[in-house]
């Protein structure tokens, strides 16, 4: 059995091997990494996984990396037109991908395939080997956030310790699954393959496994204000980055993340990314999917509904937050403070 380690700070946790963090809340861990540790870009993935093999875990993890990368367009491909998924738009995206690959040393096919996936939602029939996708996606996500490395925070309970046999493609074979799900050893083997392939670091949260070093980590309290309700989505590094910046601002109190809103009892609720109810300010964070016609139309309907209810809707793209979160926070703060001044002046006028 791997020996347990003493209490460590997050910056001391190894990234060159898979480790178990059995006593840590995964959301607190993700927020702490996004807020206070500039080396790692955290990405949360949750069970259950499809299948019960190491390769199933690795494939699911790479899919999560792809989703994160797609959400960060155009941060990694400046100049691409997210609203153009026609033949001309795709041809232009491939040309941009070829030039970006030349200057950034990514495989040309990797960036081209990823651009097509981001714009159309379709993956090419003959995609690159999983090992290459894991390595390059982990690098791309980290660089998009200005971090050194991506770390996958895997939310999983200890699913058993079935033996892992060797298998095809160097990932490992079948492992004994518990309750039809993925065994602990299958998960560990898949995670070890990702790390050894040059992919992301992998920390298994809520897991105890005899093959892994167990690390007890100290998560310090965040500085500044905290959200009064809700939290950034645990799988969104963009939301976590914005929350980390807002937490340092004294004016940002009263914000709510990912809460349902409804105009009245007869209307269906809508989920708002971020809002200040008292100041009647809504902030929406848009990935590339928001440029697709059907999603664009739904967003406009939501905006009209919120505007009629007296809310202002501020929209920012993922890439804008990643590249210039300071300016985004400044613009939100300017609006929120102006609403508070208007409210205060109105109250003072009413008392005259």
Per-residue pLDDT of the chain (352 residues), as tens digits, is 455 555 567 878 889 999 999 888 887 888 788 766 568 888 888 755 666 789 999 999 999 999 888 888 888 888 776 556 666 778 888 899 889 888 888 999 999 999 888 888 887 777 789 999 999 999 999 988 888 899 999 987 544 433 333 333 456 544 333 334 566 788 899 999 999 999 999 999 987 788 888 888 777 544 444 445 677 876 677 888 898 889 889 999 999 998 989 888 778 888 899 999 999 999 999 876 655 566 677 878 888 999 999 999 999 988 888 888 899 999 999 999 999 988 777 655 555 5
d(CA 73, CA 86): 17
pLDDT, mean over the chain: 80
Q: In 113-190, where do the E strands start and end?
A: 149-155
Sketch the domain layout of the chain as residue ranges.
4-218, 237-350
For the packed helices 26-36 and 237-246, what is the interaxial angle rounded to 10 degrees? 60
Q: What is the pTM of this model?
A: 0.69
- Supply the CATH classification number for the domain 237-350: 3.40.960.10
Dihedral (Cα; 99, 111, 321, 220), 10-degree rounding: -130
| Contact present, 231 and 274 (Cβ < 8 Å) | no
Convert the pLDDT of each residue in 12-28 to its tens digit. 888 999 999 988 888 78
d(CA 175, CA 212): 17
């Amino acid at each position: 059995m791997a020996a347990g380690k003493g209490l460590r700070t997050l910056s001391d946790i190894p990234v060159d091997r898979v480790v178990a963090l059995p006593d840590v809340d995964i959301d607190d861990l993700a927020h702490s990494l996004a807020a206070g540790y500039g080396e790692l870009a955290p990405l949360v993935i949750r069970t259950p996984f499809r299948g019960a093999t190491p390769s199933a875990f690795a494939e699911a993890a790479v899919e999560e990396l792809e989703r994160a990368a797609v959400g960060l367009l155009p941060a990694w491909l400046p100049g691409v037109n997210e609203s153009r998924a026609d033949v001309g738009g795709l041809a232009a995206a491939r040309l941009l991908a070829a030039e970006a690959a030349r200057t950034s040393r990514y495989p040309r096919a990797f960036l081209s395939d990823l651009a097509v996936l981001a714009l159309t939602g379709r993956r090419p029939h003959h995609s690159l080997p999983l090992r290459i996708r894991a390595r390059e996606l982990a690098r791309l996500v980290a660089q998009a956030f200005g971090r050194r490395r991506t770390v996958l925070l895997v939310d999983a309970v200890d699913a058993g310790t079935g033996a892992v046999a060797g298998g095809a493609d160097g990932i490992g074979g079948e492992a004994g699954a518990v309750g039809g799900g993925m065994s602990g050893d299958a998960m560990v083997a898949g995670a070890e393959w990702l790390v050894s392939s040059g992919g992301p670091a992998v920390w298994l949260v809520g897991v105890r496994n005899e093959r892994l070093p167990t690390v007890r980590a100290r998560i310090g309290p965040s500085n500044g204000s905290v959200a009064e309700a809700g939290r950034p989505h645990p799988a969104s590094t963009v939301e976590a980055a914005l929350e980390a910046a807002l937490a340092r601002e004294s004016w940002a109190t009263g914000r709510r993340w990912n809460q349902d809103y409804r105009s009245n009892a007869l209307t269906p609720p809508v989920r708002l990314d971020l809002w200040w109810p008292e100041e009647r300010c809504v902030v929406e964070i848009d990935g590339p999917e928001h440029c697709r016609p059907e999603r664009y139309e739904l967003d406009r309907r939501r905006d009209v509904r919120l505007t009629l209810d007296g809310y202002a809707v501020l929209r920012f793209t993922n890439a804008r937050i990643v590249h210039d979160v300071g300016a985004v926070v400044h613009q939100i703060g300017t609006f929120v403070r102006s609403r508070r001044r208007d409210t205060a002046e109105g109250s003072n006028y009413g008392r005259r």
